[in-house]
Amino acid sequence: MNLESVSLSIKEYAHSLGFQYCGISQAVFLEQEAPHLEKWLKTHKNAEMAYMEKYFDLRLNPKLLVEGAESVISVLLNYYPKQSQHKDNNAKIAKYAWGKDYHYVIKDKLHLLFDYIKTLLPDVQGRAFVDSAPVMDKVWAKRSGLGWIGKHSNLIVPKAGSFFLIGELIITEKLMYDAPIQDLCGTCTKCINACPTQAILEPYVVDANRCISYLTIELKNEIPDEFQNQMDGWIFGCDVCQDVCPWNIKFSTPTDEPYFTPLPEVSEYQLKDWLLLDEKTFKKIFKQSAISRPKYKGMMRNARFLLKNQKPLSDESFS
């Protein structure tokens, strides 16, 4: 098989596994992205995520992750839910965390894809990555022609939106490479204007120090008081910049991935339910959920912080 037919076969198999999109780019040093990443880190926009500084070189050079790397295969999996959290819910959760932890779902599919690639290219070596190693996944997806990075820093797929999770296979064989596409954000600034904490400082630049997703998931200390009355009811993550994006409003369609079926607690739990949750129950319910990332301690911190914004609750509120 020639490079074109092998590449086409890989994409077709990726689609058969449930990935909506698959693109391929050459595994090269990310020269264009290097100065932007360096500036972002030097101005401390990464907040307390020190690991982003520690693995600076690996983020830019896939050959340091996989010796002899030639190709990066990027895949996208739709996670847009069929239902919504109740409109009156005062403890909102980002959509990607409603079902089973995407790390498990995508990694399993990538391993199946890599097994298939080995039937086509017996000498291939490689690794699968799902947001758990120093890989600039949105950049590779962009370079693979799957979409462009919007002003909110998320990947936007033409006529499909941004509610997609990204995974990669970095492999040691050359393939046919896709070309990047045009940025179609135009003059739109809806995501910038809608951010509750003004975390999007300028188009394409997000300050993690101010991002609700960072504050509720990655931050290890207490949420600063300056964000009182700015959290918009989010207890885990935030979807505001994506929810207001015209590409999502017009084109997002519900996922058919069974593993992303929402946990009942996601739609049913109000703030009072989170405040009454004990650690043992939390671990049992969210064992295979991304919601386990900040651990019980982090979720209780988030709940208490949201409680400060609520009217005083009577004893009947917890009955």
Active site amino acids: 131
pLDDT tens figures, 85-132: 766 778 999 999 999 999 999 999 999 999 999 999 999 999 999 987
| pLDDT one-digit tens code per residue, 268-313 | 899 999 999 999 999 999 999 999 999 999 999 999 999 987 755 4
- State residue 172's pLDDT score: 98
DSSP three-state, residue 237: coil
Q: Where are the domains of the chain?
A: 3-84+95-171, 190-245+262-318
* Residue 317 predicted with pLDDT over 50: no
Contact 177, 83 (CB under 8 A): no
In degrees rounded to 5, what are phi and psi of residue 238? -165, 140
Taking the C-alpha atoms of 132, 135, 136 and 142 in order, what is their torsion angle to the nearest 10 degrees? -110
pTM: 0.93
Pairing of strands 92-93, 234-236: parallel
> Average of pLDDT values for 237-245?
97
pLDDT for position 87: 67
Mean pLDDT score of the chain: 93
Q: Between residues 51 and 8, which one has the greater pLDDT?
A: 8
Architecture of domain 3-84+95-171: 3-Layer(aba) Sandwich (3.40)
- Pairing between β-strand 164-171 and β-strand 126-129 as defined by DSSP bridges: antiparallel
Any residues with CB less than 8 A from the CB of 12 and at least 6 apart, and which?
none
**pLDDT tens-digit series, residues 29-80:** 999 999 988 898 888 888 888 777 778 888 999 999 999 999 999 999 999 9
pLDDT of the residue at 316? 41
Q: What is the mean predicted confidence (pLDDT) over 175-189?
A: 97
Reduced to 3 states, what is the DSSP secondary structure of residue 298? Answer: helix
Backbone angles phi, psi at 260, to 5 degrees: -95, 10
* pLDDT, position 86: 67
Per-residue model confidence (pLDDT) at position 311? 54
CB count within 10 Å of CB 230 equals 16
For residue range 198-236, what is the model confidence (pLDDT) as tens digits? 999 999 999 999 999 999 999 999 999 999 999 999 999
Residues 225, 229, 232, 236, Cα dihedral to 10°: 20
